[in-house]
Each structure stands twice: as structure tokens, then as C-alpha cells.
Structure 1
Amino acid sequence: MFKLKEKLEAGEFVITSEIAPPKGPDLGEFIEKAKLVQDRVVAINVTDNQRAIMRLSSLVASAALEREGIESIYQLACRDRNRLALQSDLLGAHAFGIRNVLPLTGDAVAQGDQKDAKPVFEMTSVKLMALVQKLNQGLSYNDHPLNGKTEFFVGGAVDPKNIGAKAFFQKMEEKMKYGAEFFQSQPVYDLDLVEKFFRYAEEHRVKSLIGVLLVKGPKQAAFLNSHVPGIRIPDEIIHRFNGASEPLQVGIDFAARQIRELRPLSHGIHIMTVGREDLVPEILNRAGL
């Protein structure tokens, strides 16, 4: 069932999406949201306490998707776990049929809803990729043999807005060294940067999925610009919202236009609708996909 790896390796244009687990034990609505998009995307990212806001375990939510026949991309943040917990969770994920994993360092606790929580950060995303690489070789972090090898397909997060910095390429190369085979980006609005990133990915034989964010109105745009690191909504879309009788339609049209522009400059897109998964089919329809 591992379509993401298969389609990327076959050179197909791939669409992924993203859903946050619920703030509570009931997975019903989460599963229903995933079913709204499952026929239009190859896999769904399951976020791991994104923005340091507590939600149900990304491991459990990813396993729930796999149980429904929906391919997941399991996000795993270093912020909340030491190496023992990271290894245990990864082995558990593999046992539940999860094969796609996106290691992340994790957002700072100070950004979240429980600011007095103690962060761990024993590892970085790159070190976590190295750990996954060892598990794929049948070894634990300290090189003790396991009773089998994992078969994780490893992705990396990237922000092409930083492509001009030397550290950008150094970190990319580190992630590729430790097994990253595809990259999902933050939303990017500069096509020149996207093209540079695409050329770099092509040269290094890794796959690039560019982030497309549905911005639903001016209030959300202002919030994202003020509170979400790595995201900067351009003035163009904010101006379009001003005076619009239906700002949501403006946001849908803008996302669809982005997808059309990005298609020749990427191996796929990663579409984020922040709670409006029901709009993913409409956005893709308007984009001609």
C-alpha cells in the first residue's frame, strides 16, 4: 500500500495533505476529515503537537489512518522525547504498518498552550534521521541488533525561503546523507526560489513537494504572519482579501493558482488547509488536477 514511495520513484506528480490529530481521545472526526481527501492525495501528514499545542498522539492517529487503508506520513518531533522514547515510538509505528516518517526538531514549547512544559530536544531532526537509518539497518541507536529491520521511507522538512544561506544546503546535505529521500516545504510564494530548490533536488536525486497553504481570510493571514515561524503571507493576497465579499473564495483561487504555477517546478505539492479538508477537492479541481 506504500504509494508515496512508489509514485515518487516512478516520477509521478504527487499530492500530499496534512491533518492535525484531535484535542481529545475521539478519533471520529479526524478519520472523517481524512476520508474527505483520501481519493485526491497519496498520503496524509499527521502532525505531532504542532506549534507545541497538545493533541492526541501522532503515532496513534497515523496508525488509525493505516487501519482505514489511508497512507500516513508520521511526523515525529524531538521536542518531547529522548532517544529511548523516539526509538520505541518508531518501532511501534513500524509494527502498526506505518512506513513514511518525517522527523522534526519541533516547535519551541514557549509557542504552545502549556508553556511550563519541559522540552527535551536531546536530538535534532538530522540526528533523528540518523537514528531511523540505523533502525532500517536492524540496529538500535547504540548499535545493538534488533529482531528485524525497519523499512521507513524518510522525508525532511525544508524552508526554501532560506535557500540563499550556506547553512540551507549544508542541512539539506546532512539530511540526505542520513536517508532523506523526499522533502516537504513550508509555503513558498517566490517562484524563483522554488525553481532553484527544484534544480537542486533534481541534481541530488531527491524529491521536492512544495507547500501550498489555504489562507481563508485576512485575520488568518495576520495570525500566521505574527505567530507561525517560517510562514509569511505575501501582501498580494492580503490586499486581495481587503474588500472581498467572499474572502474564502479569494483564498481558494489563490491556492489553486499557486498549484498551477508550481506543477512544472516540483515533484508534487503538500497542501495544508488547516481544518478545511473539505475544500481540498475544490482547490485541486480549480487547479486542474
Structure 2
Amino acid sequence: MADGIIIIDKPQDWTSMDVCAKLRGIFHERRIGHAGTLDPIATGVLPVFVGRATRAVEFASESEKEYVAGLRLGVETNTQDTTGTVLAERPVSVSQAELEQVLGQFRGEIRQIPPMYSAIKVGGKKLYELARKGQEVERQPRAVTIHSLTLEEQTGPADYTLRVRCSKGTYVRTLCHDIGRALGCGGCMSGLRRTMAAGFKLEDALPLEQVLQAEGPASLLLGVDAYFADRPVLILKPPAEKKVRNGMSLFLPETPDGEYRVYGAEGTFLALSRMERGRLTTIKSFFPV
């Protein structure tokens, strides 16, 4: 049985679930999940959790993400990216300085109306299912946070590259659409590459083809504790380890408050735990039962 995390550099035209389905076959493991869906147009960092490591997905999916996105001005589509049907085209006479000024409106906490081509459910139906039938329904704006938004370069008369660091739930194609609207000429996303998710970066990612061709793919898996690498380590002696394995809390009055990666005496990663007022309790356990 395989357990661990593998960071995939998702290829274009694959869905995130396509990647997971392929890895289920490679690792012979039904329990596989990912941290943050990437649209088929997108490439880049897709953290995939295998086996017992899927218990960490809930933490990873909440984290902020970073993207490099193509912004094409003067074009609006029904999907808010260049894969969709063109709804409107307008001439573009925007300077870099004007674009830079408008970007300032989209930094910090903003409100986005989710696109119709998304997996959000309204009335029990996924929006993209309704959109494919030609239906459009009212969507409530949602608060998201744009931690940073920078103009990297101009790549054509109406094409730009943006770097976006944002909270969970942000639609970068909607950001491109809204920037175009703010400039008065319309816009859409022409490409997307995720450069960071769940704390993992592109340099941590492996091309999917390399993983599929590997003779021993399990050797490519990172331990699930790699995701919690920013927490300090706490190593327990055997009696304390037994208590943690039995779901009990520990009293360790000399240990400072905070979250810890907790290991057994032999180096087995046991749990992500919280120390509060001298008492250690398990947030989530990761040892085999």
C-alpha cells in the first residue's frame, strides 16, 4: 500500500481528476485526492495525496496559491478564458501604466461572482452543467483575497503576463475578466500556470509522464509530514507514544503552546498535534491503524 504526497506538474488538457485516476492505477491505491482543482487549460503544481496521506487534504486545500496567468484584453468569452466562445471583441488602447493603475483595485480582499463554467452548485446543480445547456443563473459574490498581483511583462499588443498570489476559491479567469471590464475593453485569461500550492513550488513538481514511466513510483512519494514541515518536531518516548496511538492527550507542561509534528521514538510520523497550556491533543493522526 502506497502512502505519501506527490507533486505533479499537471499537463495541459488534463483535468485534475484525470491525473488522480491515472495515479490510482500507478499506485494501486483507491484513496487519492488533490489539493486544489486546476482547469484543463492550466498547468503546474498539483499536490496529490495518496493512501493515508489523504487525511491531510483538508489542510492543504485551505492554503493560498500562486499563479502566472496570461491576460488578453479586448476579448470576452463565455468561459472567461480563450477556450470559450467569443461573446464580444473591442479595440484595445490601454497603456501599461493604465493597466498597472487598475490592478491596484484588485489587491487585498475583493468580491468575485463565480463564473458559470465552474463546479459550484446552485440548487443542487453544478454551474457548468447549466451553462452547457445555455442557462445562466444568478450567483452570489464571494469574498476572496488577492495577496499580491503584479504585471510581469507585455507579450503582445493586447497580451500581458500577470503573477497572482491568492486565497482559496479565487478564480483567476474571473480576475482577468473583471480587470478587462474595469479597463472598459473586456478581457479573458489566455493561459494559466500554477507555481505554488499547499506550500509546494514548481521545483518540487514532477512531470506526469515521468511518474507514469517510473519503475518504482512509490519511491517518488514524499512523506505526509513534508506538508507540515513548517511546524516544529516533537519526539515522544514509548509510553507517551502509546497514549497518542490510543487517542489520549498528554500532559507536557514544559512544552510551549503551538502545533507540532509528533513522532514516535523510532521516527514514525504519528500526528499533527496542538499543545495548549501544557496539554497535547491530536488534530489529525497519520499512523497506520
Q: Shorter chain as normaliser: what TM range?
A: under 0.3
TM-score (ref. length: structure 2)? 0.24
In terms of fraction of residues, the more strand-rich structure is 2
Which protein has greater RCO, CA pairs closer than 8 Å, 6+ apart?
A: 2
Rg larger for: 2
What is the TM-score with the length of structure 1 in the denominator?
0.24
More helix by share: 1
